[in-house]
Amino acid sequence: MKSCALFTNFVRVAVAAALLTTQILPAENLRGTSAVDLLIQKAHSLEGRDRDDLAAQVWQQVLIANPNQPEALVGLARWAKRAGKNLLTLYKRLERLRSLLRDCVTRQLSPSA
């Protein structure tokens, strides 16, 4: 009976160690990777799991950081086409977001009175 409990505890510790190792080691591989690159990887991963709706949200985050990022523009256009969205409407929405972002940046950079 005690040997069974010891074995069970050993397995728990081994599984916990394996899980921690798989969580820590990939983080080391990401050093030097920009936030935009991580978002792009996330969007591709979501697309691969047929979560185009979530991928579209990530593509929009990428475009906020870099409005001319080609992969994000293509990814968002691909989502719009699959979702049956009107590309012109999507483009207008993106332009509105870019305008708002420019206004926010301008207000932050202008000297306060």
Coil, strand or helix at 85: coil
pTM recorded for the entire structure: 0.53
Phi, psi of 49 (to 5 degrees): -100, 20
Confidence of residue 30 (pLDDT cuts 50, 70, 90): very low
Q: Is 38 in the same domain as 16? A: no
| Whether residue 92 sits in one domain with residue 59 | yes
Torsion of CA 96, 98, 104, 105, to 10 degrees: -160
84 is written with which tokens? 């049956």
Residues 44, 55: one domain? yes
Of residues 56 and 28, which shows the higher confidence score? 56
DSSP 113: -
Mean pLDDT within 62-84: 86
Whether 2 and 50 share a structural domain = no
pLDDT level of residue 69 (50, 70, 90 thresholds)? confident
**How many Cβ atoms from other residues are within 10 Å of residue 46's Cβ?**
19
**Do 112 and 79 share a domain, yes or no?**
yes
Domain that holds residue 42: 33-113
